[in-house]
Structure 1
């Protein structure tokens, strides 16, 4: 919001936030400079017997001590759920200058 307000009314680009980007860092991406490619059919797996480790704030070790699984976790079998994993063969590339990173922004 701050970027859009300070840039003025002519600024009409999308601004997205990510917890994966450090504070005071801005990443600018030109969509025309990004290329992707895939090959073949994606590999799709399903499972009813897996256990999902569901920590999303500060992931730690999956096994906290010998033989004791970490929490929070969910048994797909006990919860009557199915997990789906899709693994495509793909590649990403950025043209020179298509991605710019500015660190330690102070505005």
Structure 2
């Protein structure tokens, strides 16, 4: 799976990922994880009501768009055009997970 190698945020994502399937190749790669769960009509572990650990709230990604950015934009159902996280799934997950006002990313609603 080429995206595993190219995910610039995987190390940061793994610090907060609540997925219990340690064998999953998508673990810590939010775009592949959310795409996989959404295609099956489900939600990723972080969007299923798992409490986000408080010490992960300050984690930030690398700040550059990933190799899958354009593909992610095409899949993203978010209608908020001004959102700077559109197409950067890990930043979107970090924004929504544990956010009481906007608790779910558009792809997980």
Largest Rg, 1 or 2: 1
Question: TM-score, normalized by length of structure 2?
Answer: 0.19
Question: TM-score, normalized by length of structure 1?
Answer: 0.19
Q: Where is the helix percentage greater, Structure 1 or Structure 2?
A: 2
Structure showing greater relative contact order (alpha-carbon pairs closer than 8 Å, 6 or more residues apart): 1
